[in-house]
Amino acid sequence: MDTKIATDRLRLSFGTTEVLKSVTIKVHRNTITGFMGPSGSGKSTLISVINRMIDFENNVKIEGDATIDGTSILDGSINPIELRRRVGTVFAVPIPLPRSIFENIAYGPRLKGTSDRTTLHHIVEDSLKKAFLWDEVKDRLGTSALKLSGGQQQRLCLARTLALKPEIILLDEPCSGLDPISTAKIEDALSELKSEYTIILVSNNTKQIARISDFSAFFYLGELIEYDTTEKVFTAPAEAKTEDYIQGKFG
C-alpha cells in the first residue's frame, strides 16, 4: 500500500523525559489508522509532530525523522503554517472560535486569502455537509458557534478542519466528551471521509478503533508495540501486551 505519513526512529523528549522512544511507523494513504494506548503512551505527542503543533511546547528535543509523501516535515525548509493547511487537526475538547458558525468554518479559507462570499459559502456548505452538520445549522449560520451543543461543536471543528482542504486529518480523542449519538455521527463522517483523506484517529476507546479504523497501532510508554490491520490486531494480536490492553486488563 501507498505510504502517506512515515516516521523513522523518531525520538522525542520534553526536558529529560523521553516521550517517544524510536517510533517507526508507516501510515497508509486514504485509510483510517487508529492510534491507541493508555495515557502517557505518546500517541498524542506523535500526532503533534505530524502537524508541527509541537512547536508551541517548550524544551522539546526531537531526533529521527518524520515524512509526508516522502518529504521530511522536520527539516528547516518546511513552513509549519503551510504544513498545517495540509494536516488538519481536531482536538479532544471542541473549541469554537468566539464568532459565528459561518466565520468559524471560513477562518482557514480566509487566511489563505479567499474572501469572495460565494466561494466561501460553497466551502462552508460543503464542509458542514461532510461533517454531517449542515442540516442542523443551515438556517442559522450567522449565530454564535458557542451556542451549539458539545456534539455539534465537535462536528463544527471537523468541518472547520475540512474547510482547509487538507490531505491528512488528525483527530486527538475527538469523541472523549461526547454522547453515543454524537460519537456515531462523527464516526459516520470519518468513514465517508477516508476516500479523500488520510485519517489518524487517536483514541483510548478501543471499541471505537475496532469499529472504524483500517489499521491499528498500539502504543505503550512511548513505544510502538504493535501495528497491523485492525482485524489482525483485534483478533490475533502478536504481542501479549496488546491483547491485555484490548481486553481491558490495564490502561
Partner 1 sequence: MRINPRFINRFVRMGLNVQAYFTVGILIIIVAIIFFKGFPHVNFAFIFSFPEDMGREGGIFPSIVGTIQLALLSILLATPLGLGTAVFLTEYTKESLFTKFIRFGVESLAGIPSILYGLFGFIFFVIKLKMGWSLLAGVLTMTIMILPTIIRTSEEAIRAVPRQLRIVSYSLSASKWETIKKVVIPAAIPGILTGIMLSIGRAVGETAAIIFTMGSSLRLPLSLMDSGRTMAVHFYILAREGISMEKAYGTAVVLVLSILLINILAYYIMNKAIARYS
Give me the residues that bind partner 1 (CB under 8 A), please: 51, 53, 56, 81-82, 84-85, 88-89, 91, 93, 95, 97-99, 107-108, 111-112, 144, 146, 157, 160-161, 164
- How many angstroms separate the CA atoms of 216 and 200, rounded? 10
The nearest distance, CB 82 to partner 1, in angstroms, is 7
* Amino acid letter for position 5: I
H/E stretch holding 117 reads helix 117-130
The nearest distance, CB 146 to partner 1, in angstroms, is 6
Q: In what order do the strands lie in the sheet with 32-36?
A: 87-90, 168-172, 198-203, 32-36, 215-220, 223-229
Q: Is there a contact between 217 and 7 (Cβ–Cβ < 8 Å)?
A: no
- Closer by beta carbon to partner 1, 79 or else 229: 79
* Amino acid letter for position 109: P
- Closer by beta carbon to partner 1, 2 or else 57: 57
The nearest distance, CB 211 to partner 1, in angstroms, is 26
End-to-end CA distance of the chain: 31
- Closer by beta carbon to partner 1, 83 or else 210: 83
The nearest distance, CB 68 to partner 1, in angstroms, is 15
The nearest distance, CB 190 to partner 1, in angstroms, is 18
- How many angstroms separate the CA atoms of 186 and 180, rounded? 10
The nearest distance, CB 69 to partner 1, in angstroms, is 18
- How many angstroms separate the CA atoms of 119 and 23, rounded? 41
- Closer by beta carbon to partner 1, 56 or else 250: 56
The nearest distance, CB 51 to partner 1, in angstroms, is 7
* Amino acid letter for position 71: T
- How many angstroms separate the CA atoms of 28 and 10, rounded? 18
- Closer by beta carbon to partner 1, 128 or else 246: 128
Q: Which residue's C-alpha cell is 485519517?
A: 199
- Closer by beta carbon to partner 1, 81 or else 181: 81
- How many angstroms separate the CA atoms of 212 and 222, rounded? 24
- Closer by beta carbon to partner 1, 93 or else 238: 93
* Amino acid letter for position 113: G
